């Protein structure tokens, strides 16, 4: 383990992690861990398997048990005679579904309201009815089918949603985790990916508690020109069981810390917080920014995110900006990997 002192703010290089560690002959938990300690203003590097060493008996990890579903359909733009992908989100509005044409060239250059996209495989047509009023790369689309039929089509012809840093579509199994239980996420809740059964066992052995909630992740992340002007994120459904709310509050009352595994857990818990974490279900479009320190959690375990992303905006709510930038700069310098198959950071 190496320890570093907080320094001045710097720009940093993002090292993409294009493929899971299994492609390089390593196990899922064989990734690095950046530990940022807010109180001391220091940060350290370790292996993810060492996570229990940075937690204490009575702390509780809250996981998002939502599982990724195939949400990216191969499509053909009938009017432009061009092939691409149509990412299907979780939001619905007046019978329309939230979608995003990909890649960027397929979306930004000529895609217009009224364009018809044919699903490659069965020829079903999806019409892009109108652009989203806030997030310009999203459309509200008429799928011309019911929700059950849409889910069936996604399962048969769809693939896991990926972005440009992944060179090809990966099987759905690469996006499953030891806590994946409830299908529904369009985007991968990736913070729990490095948890192996041996790491989970080590946590239990040390007396680290575990609890679960569900938040189905929508299309994301937002890009700088979008989230800089938006007070909210696309809406997402969440459900917090009574057992989870009770366990989290009891842990905190006993001197433990509530550690969110992933930014999606923070959004769910903070949306339900009324002086204490309240169980229940609903939707949230909460956008946590610097200056709004979450009250429902004491720490966050998450991946490393691009400097201009909504995830970093949330992380900045936990940390002094200079500490975050210094830690990220150092992580970049020593070769930490970014994105959903990369390394992790623990902020506590």
Q: What is the dihedral of CA 99, 101, 103, 104, to 10 degrees?
A: -100
Summary mean pLDDT of the chain: 88
Mean per-residue pLDDT, 15-40: 86
| Structure-model confidence comparison of residues 292 and 20, the more confident one | 20
Predicted pLDDT of residue 5: 40
Round to whole Å and give the CA distance between 138 and 38. 36
Predicted pLDDT of residue 16: 52
Predicted pLDDT of residue 221: 58
Task: Decide if 2-68+171-347 and 72-157 have a common fold.
Answer: no
Full-model pTM = 0.90
Residue 8 — very low, low, confident or very high, per pLDDT cuts 50/70/90?
very low
Predicted pLDDT of residue 220: 81
Residue 229 has pLDDT above 80, yes or no: no
Q: For residue 115, which of 74, 157, 71, 80 has the smallest C-alpha distance?
A: 80
Strands 32-37 and 82-93: unpaired
What is the CATH code of the structural domain delimited by 72-157? 2.40.10
Residue 105 has pLDDT above 70, yes or no: no
Task: Look up the CATH superfamily of 2-68+171-347.
Answer: QueA-like (3.40.1780.10)
Long-range CB pairs of 325-329, under 8 A, 24+ apart, other chains included? 325/9, 325/10, 325/12, 326/4, 326/6, 326/7, 326/8, 326/9, 326/10, 326/43, 327/4, 327/6, 327/34, 327/36, 327/43, 328/12, 328/304, 329/7, 329/10, 329/11, 329/12
Q: For residue 238, which of 264, 208, 207 has the smallest C-alpha distance?
A: 264
Predicted pLDDT of residue 226: 62
How do the domains of the chain map onto residue ranges? Answer: 2-68+171-347, 72-157
Q: What is the dihedral of CA 275, 281, 287, 289, to 10 degrees?
A: 30
Mean per-residue pLDDT, 96-104: 90
Predicted pLDDT of residue 225: 61
């Amino acid at each position: 383990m190496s320890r570093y002192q907080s320094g001045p703010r710097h720009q940093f290089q993002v090292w993409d992690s294009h493929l899971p560690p299994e492609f390089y002959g390593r196990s899922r938990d064989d990734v690095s861990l950046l530990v940022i300690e807010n109180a001391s203003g220091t940060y350290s590097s370790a292996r993810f398997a060492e996570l229990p060493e940075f937690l204490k008996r009575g702390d509780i990890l809250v996981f998002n048990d939502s599982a990724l579903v195939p949400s990216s359909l191969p499509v053909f733009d009938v009017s432009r005679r061009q092939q691409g992908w149509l990412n299907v989100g979780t939001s619905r509005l007046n019978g329309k579904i939230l979608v995003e044409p990909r890649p960027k060239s397929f979306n930004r250059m000529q895609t217009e309201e009224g364009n018809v996209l044919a699903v490659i495989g069965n020829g079903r047509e999806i019409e892009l009815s109108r652009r989203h009023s806030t997030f310009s790369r999203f459309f509200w689309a008429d799928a011309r089918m019911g929700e059950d039929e849409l889910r069936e089509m996604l399962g048969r012809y769809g693939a896991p949603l990926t972005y440009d840093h992944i060179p090809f579509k990966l099987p759905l199994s690469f996006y499953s985790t030891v806590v994946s239980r409830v299908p529904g996420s369009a985007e991968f809740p990736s913070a729990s990916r490095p948890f192996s059964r041996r790491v989970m066992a080590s946590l239990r052995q040390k007396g680290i508690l575990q609890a679960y909630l569900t938040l189905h992740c929508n299309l994301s992340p937002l890009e700088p020109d979008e989230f800089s002007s938006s007070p909210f994120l696309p809406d997402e459904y969440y459900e917090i069981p009574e057992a989870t709310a009770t366990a989290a509050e009891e842990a905190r009352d006993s001197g433990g810390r509530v550690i969110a595994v992933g930014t999606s857990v923070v959004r769910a818990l903070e949306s339900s917080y009324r002086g204490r974490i309240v169980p229940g279900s609903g939707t949230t479009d909460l956008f946590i920014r610097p200056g709004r320190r979450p009250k429902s959690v004491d720490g966050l375990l998450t991946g490393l995110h691009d400097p201009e992303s909504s995830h970093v905006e949330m992380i900045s709510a936990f940390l002094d900006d200079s500490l975050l930038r210094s830690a990220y700069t150092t992580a970049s310098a020593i070769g930490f990997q970014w994105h959903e198959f990369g390394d992790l950071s623990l902020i506590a």
